[in-house]
Structure formats: C-alpha cells, structure tokens
Structure 1
Amino acid sequence: MDALDDLDQRVSGCRACPRLVDWREEVARTKRAAFADQTYWGRPVPGFGPPDARLLIIGLAPAAHGGNRTGRMFTGDRSGDVLYQALYDVGLASQPTSVAADDGLELYGVRVTAPVHCAPPDNKPTPGERETCRPWLVQELRLLRPTVRAVVVLGGFGWQATLPALAEAGWRVPRPRPAFGHGVRIGIDGSDGSVGGGGPEGLELFGCFHVSQRNTFTGKLTPAMLREVLSTAARAAGLGK
C-alpha cells in the first residue's frame, strides 16, 4: 500500500465532526427513494485519482446522495456529471460519466479531492468543520508535492481552505492572499524559490466557479467555461491535449 492509499483509508475512518457524522449516517440509513435498494457509503469520502497526479482539483464536500452514497468524489450526482464530462472532453478522463466507484473510470494525471470529506447538511459545512478537516488536505498536498504542478479550486469555500493548506504544506502563498475569482491564475512559489510552472515544487493555482447545480443551471458556469479552465490548468501541469 502506498502512502496516499494509507491516507485515504484513514480519511474514510474519521469521526472528528459530530454534526457531519450524524448527518452522513442518517442520510445513509434513510436514503433517497431512487436509491432505496443501494447500500450507501455513509463515511468520509477520500480523494480519487493517481498518486502521481500533476493536476489536483479541489471541490467543496461530497453530496449527500452522490459521494456519500457511492464513496467516490463527484460520483453519482449532477455536479459530477458536469465535471467528469468536462474532464473527458479535454482528455483527462477515460469516460464522460461517473456513476459508481466500480464503473471503470480512470483519471489521467488528475486527482479530485475536497477540503471537507463528509457530506454536510444543505451542502454547507461550517468554517469550523473546514478547519477541522484541513489537516487531511495538508497531508494530501504533501504527498502529491513531488508531482503536482497545477491546482484548480472549485468555488470560494474551497479557495479559502486551499490557500492556508498550501502554506502549511510548504508552498509560499502570496501575501496578501489572492482573492477567489473565476479564471484567476496565481503562481505559487516552491520552498526552494522556484516560481509556479517554472521549477520543481512550484505550481499554478486556478480559480473556477463550483460545478453546483445552481451555477450550471443558471449559466454562471457553462461547460465551455469549465473546459477552458481545465484545459489551461492541464497545459500548465504538462497534461492534456
């Protein structure tokens, strides 16, 4: 077992946030009618993707009837439908859909994770829960550090979690900390002084509106906008078409 697999197993056993533990387990017991015949995962959802990923995508938290049901990030919900279709379109996924943890989906040089690993009520974790969960993201970043060269953060909540996690994991985050925005691109120095994209350990940080139903249904985030951010980040990471 490699270090990232070990981390994923430890994440999936976490019970640090009582409100989130109660909610995720209640959802797993009561279920949604459409999934009444399925056994829900009902635990923290670890990251998904290869241990040598060059591009990391950071979301918000698992969906109650998506990742909390399937056990895989962005799998089995409409947000995931949008994200994995876009990853497929830009050559970073083996298939355009993600419906179950055993559906054969592979990501090419990409890992998907979140700053909060448990499904929260109303899709809204608290800042305190984000802080409690942050050490997992810091450990994940440290393990990915030898290879990761670009990070795409989906939404402002994830952005607020990612910047301090990057700093704690050893990167030199600019001060004042850059504000979130769709299409924002920030070069992050590595500890050896290398600038993002230009040397070992530096990376490029990208902001993107979250793939929530609210954003995609209203057109705040279109498939073309998402593909543009992902393809730009992929090039920065040395991946993709």
Structure 2
Amino acid sequence: MQSTFSADCRQCPRLANFLDEMKSRYPDYHARPVPAFGDVAPKLLIMGLAPGMHGANRTGRPFTGDFAGILLYRTLYKFGFASHEGSASVNDNLQLMNCRITNAVKCLPPQNKPEPGEIRQCNRYLAAEINDFRKEGGIALLALGAIAHQAGLMALGLKVRDYKFSHGAVHALQGDLTLYDSYHCSRYNTQTRRLTAEMFERVFTEICAGLASDSAIQQDQD
C-alpha cells in the first residue's frame, strides 16, 4: 500500500465521492487530496484536521482562503515562520520558514467530520510525512485539535492514553521529538473565544523556546 502522498488517492469511497460532488458543484475548486505546504526541511510540523470546504478544498493549500487560516498565518508571521500574514490564494507568494503544515486527513470530509476508518486509512501519509520530518532534523509537532493530536500519535505508533490532549500541553515523545497541543483555530473556537489570539500565541512562545533550546544544545555539541 502506497505510503507517500498522492493527489489521486481514492482509497476512502465516501470522501472520494464527496470530492466528485464538490468538483461538480464548484468546477474551479481543487477538490482533491491536499498536499502539505511549507519548508522542505522544517523544525516545526503543524498538523490540522482536514481541508475546509471553501479553504484548502478550494485553493489546494492547507488553511489558505478560509477563516481558520487567518489566525494561523498571522501567528506564523508574528513568530517568524511566514513571509507575510495573509493567505488567501496559492498565488500570494507566501513562504514558510522552518515550518510545514499538513492535515491528519487530506480530503474534505462531509460536515468537516472524518470517520475513524478514514483517519486510519490516511494515517500512512501522515506517518510518512513525520518520518521524513524527523530525518530532516524536525523536532516540534503542533497538533491543532484532539483529532490531529490522536492522528500524530497513531502515526508514531504511540498510545493515546499515555499523552492526553489539552490546550497548551507539551509532550516529550520518542527521541528529540516534542508534541505541542492547541485548540484548533477554527471559526467556531475563535468566535466563541474558546481559543483567543493570546492563547494561541502562548503555544507558539513555548514552541519557539523549545526550538531555541535545541539550537543552543546543537551549538554546544558542534
């Protein structure tokens, strides 16, 4: 079974049929599995849930063109991971530095709710991404929401019960890998203030402190 990402994947019939429906309704939409975006050798890998209907499903780039991307890219820019703070189009020349963004599920699911079997089916892609990420020296994973948290642990062969999801949690994993948790930056979470910009930025402050500490250790070893 193929483990590297394929934009032609149709292994989940419900999702494949839904994307066909989207393409019929919106001919100009990407309406296919959405690849990861960002630095090819990042220190930080951000894991979202799945493409949004009128965001990544439309544009073909994670968190681009939807409400959730507003807070994410603004924060990435503020902390030096992005070349500018807006992300409305794949033609906006946005670049990510030391950061890459992917999703636990690569296809748009109906009602934004992937089924457990679809998460498991797509997990081989995430596992391959995390494996490549580690080989390139990546050390920080950020899970946006509980499903992304669980998918990341599944990809690493770790037990969810050993690493409880909560906003702001920091989990030391195998090797030098650290998993950071945040509520998803969805419209619902931000408008209800379950997640505020200040809360989100505190997570990135933790991440940057961890990256700086690792960099200092590497310099001492050189």
TM-score normalised according to structure 2 size: 0.90
Q: Which residue number in structure 2 is paired with residue 183 of structure 1?
A: 168
2:108 to 113, 116, 119: 119
Q: 1: distance between equivalents of 2:160 and 2:56?
A: 34
Provide the secondary structure at the position in 2 that maps to 1:145: helix
2:191 to 205, 217, 220: 217
Q: Which residue number in structure 1 is paired with residue 62 of structure 2?
A: 73
Q: 2: distance between equivalents of 1:157 and 1:179?
A: 12
2:182 to 183, 208, 233: 208
Q: Which residue number in structure 1 is paired with residue 156 of structure 2?
A: 166
Kindly provide the CA deviation profile for residues 156-205 of structure 1, in whole angstroms up to 9, marking residues without a partner as x: 111111112123xxxxx478421100010011122xxxxxxxxxxx1111
Query: Is the Cα–Cα contact under 8 Å of residues 47 and 112 in structure 1 kept in the other structure?
Result: yes
- Number of residue pairs aligned between Structure 1 and Structure 2: 211
> RMSD across aligned C-alpha pairs, in angstroms?
1.9
Q: Does 1:85 align with 2:74?
A: yes
Q: 2: distance between equivalents of 1:12 and 1:237?
A: 32
Q: Which residue number in structure 2 is paired with residue 15 of structure 1?
A: 10
Provide the secondary structure at the position in 2 that maps to 1:15: coil
Kindly provide the CA deviation profile for residues 53-88 of structure 1, in whole angstroms up to 9, marking residues without a partner as x: 100110100001110110000111000111101111
Q: 2: distance between equivalents of 1:108 and 1:124?
A: 30
Q: 2: distance between equivalents of 1:29 and 1:140?
A: 30
Provide the secondary structure at the position in 1 that maps to 2:162: coil
Q: Which residue number in structure 2 is paired with residue 28 of structure 1?
A: 23
Provide the secondary structure at the position in 2 that maps to 1:153: strand
Provide the secondary structure at the position in 2 that maps to 1:11: coil
Q: Which residue number in structure 2 is paired with residue 44 of structure 1?
A: 33
After TM superposition, the structure 1 = structure 2 runs for residues 119-138 of structure 1, keeping only pairs within 5 Å, are: 119-138=108-127
Q: 2: distance between equivalents of 1:235 and 1:23?
A: 41
Q: 2: distance between equivalents of 1:59 and 1:162?
A: 10
- Look up the equivalent residue of 1:216 and give its one-letter code: T
- Look up the equivalent residue of 2:179 and give its one-letter code: L
Identical-residue share of aligned pairs (%):
40
2:43 to 27, 31, 54: 54
What displacement does 1:234 show? 2.6
Q: Which residue number in structure 1 is paired with residue 219 of structure 2?
A: none
Provide the secondary structure at the position in 1 that maps to 2:29: coil
Query: Is the Cα–Cα contact under 8 Å of residues 104 and 123 in structure 2 kept in the other structure?
Result: yes
Query: Is the Cα–Cα contact under 8 Å of residues 28 and 69 in structure 1 kept in the other structure?
Result: no
What displacement does 1:236 show? 1.4
Gaps of 5+ in 1: 1-5, 32-37, 168-172, 191-201
1:156 to 146, 149, 160: 146
Provide the secondary structure at the position in 2 that maps to 1:207: strand
Query: Is the Cα–Cα contact under 8 Å of residues 152 and 230 in structure 1 kept in the other structure?
Result: no
Provide the secondary structure at the position in 2 that maps to 1:88: helix
Q: Which residue number in structure 2 is paired with residue 193 of structure 1?
A: none
